[in-house]
């Protein structure tokens, strides 16, 4: 009797907490997005500032994810397949973006790449290359914050795979490149796709680091998240529509990730 009561009150507590924290506010975003009907929502999406923000976000996110996948696989191979001094330090550094506030990341990038006072930014600027206040800076910032997501997915899988299969491929005549594409990549494919989707979700939603390094000109260099922040006070319609799209993209990523997990588990089951 008492235990049943306890169970129900615990359930109520959890559900109530989730409702107040996640469901209710999210529901308000959806409700306000469609307050003027679907037509009004679609109209907002036609606004030049909104389309520009979505384009910038897509560009930055896709570029950052691409770089992150290439670099993440490289770092993972380095960490797992090679022993070198400083390996543990490198491994710890990979996790840094998880613990450091993105705003600090943005500031750090400014210190290095600012055309005015950055020690690397000045020579680049005089060579006509602009990093901060331009797309490369936003891509850099996004790469930084998504850095651990691919590496932390791929490293354990590489460790579990071992290098037996790679050695076998070498002994069968495959060179390093063939071994990588035919053996290593298929071996880590699920972890890689999983890391990629996580990175994409994170990249779409990145705000702090990007805000610091972007020039924030609406219709030109604003991302979806920075436009949401800029418009949340005075033009909430745009803010709601973009918020809804960001949340929707996030949910889609979550669903993909869940499906991939199941798929990866299944193929792991076959492999044992």
Sign of CA dihedral 154, 181, 75, 106: negative
Stretch that binds other proteins, among 112-120, 141-149, 165-173, 257-265 (CB under 8 A): 165-173
Kindly state whether residue 246 participates in binding other proteins, applying the rule CB under 8 A. Answer: no
Q: Which is nearer to other proteins, 51 or 167 (CB)?
A: 167
Q: Which residues contact 224 (CB under 8 A, 6 or more apart)?
A: 53, 54, 56, 57, 204, 242, 245, 246
Interacting positions 179-208 with other proteins (CB under 8 A): 182-183, 186-187, 189
Supply the minimum distance, in Å, between the C-beta of residue 180 and other proteins: 13
Measured from the CB atom, is 101 or 167 closer to other proteins?
Answer: 167
Q: Is 171 in the site for other proteins (CB under 8 A)?
A: yes
Q: What span, in angstroms and rounded, lies between the C-alpha atoms of 259 and 3?
A: 36
CB of 16 or CB of 186, closer to other proteins:
186
For 188, residues 6+ apart whose C-beta sits below 8 A from its C-beta are 73, 76, 154, 157, 158, 161
- CB burial readout 31-40, b (16+ within 10 A) else e: ebbeeeeeee
Question: CB of residue 76 vs other proteins: minimum separation in angstroms?
Answer: 18
Q: What angle do CA 11, 17, 194 make, to 5 degrees?
A: 95
Tell me the window of 6-14, 20-28, 93-101, 172-180 that interacts with other proteins (CB under 8 A).
Answer: 172-180
CA distances from 8 to 4, 5, 19, 198 (A): 6, 5, 16, 34
Strands (E), 88-231: none
Q: Which of 164, 177, 233, 234 binds other proteins (CB under 8 A)?
A: 164
Q: Which is nearer to other proteins, 130 or 165 (CB)?
A: 165
**Least CB distance from residue 181 to other proteins, whole Å?**
11
Give min distance, CB of 158 to other proteins, in A: 14
**Who's near 214: CB < 8 A, 6+ residues apart?**
133, 137, 138, 221, 222, 223, 226
Q: 168 or 258: whose CB is closer to other proteins?
A: 168
The CB-of-272 to other proteins minimum distance in angstroms stands at 7
- Please select the residue that binds other proteins; options are 14, 89, 116, 270, rule is CB under 8 A: 270
Taking CB under 8 A as the criterion, the residue among 35, 98, 172, 252 binding other proteins is 172
Q: Is 156 in the site for other proteins (CB under 8 A)?
A: no
The C-alpha torsion from 140 through 141 and 145 to 147, rounded to 10°, is: 10
Task: Note the residues at the interface with other proteins (CB under 8 A).
Answer: 164-165, 167-175, 178, 182-183, 186-187, 189, 267, 270-272
């Amino acid at each position: 009797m008492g235990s049943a009561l306890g169970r129900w009150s615990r359930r109520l507590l959890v559900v109530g907490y989730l409702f107040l924290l996640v469901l209710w506010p999210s529901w308000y975003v959806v409700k306000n997005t469609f307050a003027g009907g679907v037509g009004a929502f679609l109209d907002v999406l036609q606004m030049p500032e909104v389309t520009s923000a979505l384009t910038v976000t897509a560009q930055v996110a896709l570029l950052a994810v691409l770089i992150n996948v290439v670099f993440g696989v490289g770092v993972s191979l380095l960490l797992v397949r090679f022993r070198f001094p400083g390996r543990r330090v490198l491994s710890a550094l990979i996790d840094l973006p998880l613990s450091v506030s993105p705003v600090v990341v943005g500031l750090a990038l400014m210190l290095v790449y600012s055309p005015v006072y950055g020690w690397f930014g000045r020579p680049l600027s005089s060579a006509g290359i602009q990093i901060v206040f331009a797309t490369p800076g936003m891509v850099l910032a996004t790469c930084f914050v998504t850095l651990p997501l691919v590496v932390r997915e791929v490293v354990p899988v590489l460790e579990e795979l071992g290098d037996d299969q790679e050695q076998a491929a070498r002994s069968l005549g495959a060179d390093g490149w063939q071994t990588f594409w035919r053996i290593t990549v298929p071996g880590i494919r699920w972890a890689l796709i999983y890391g990629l989707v996580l990175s994409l979700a994170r990249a779409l939603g990145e705000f702090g680091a990007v805000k610091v390094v972007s020039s924030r000109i609406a219709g030109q260099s604003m991302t979806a998240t920075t436009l949401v922040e800029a418009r949340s006070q005075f033009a909430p319609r745009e803010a709601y529509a973009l918020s809804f799209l960001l949340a929707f993209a996030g949910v889609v990523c979550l669903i993909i990730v869940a499906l991939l997990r199941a798929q990866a588990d299944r193929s792991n089951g076959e492999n044992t």
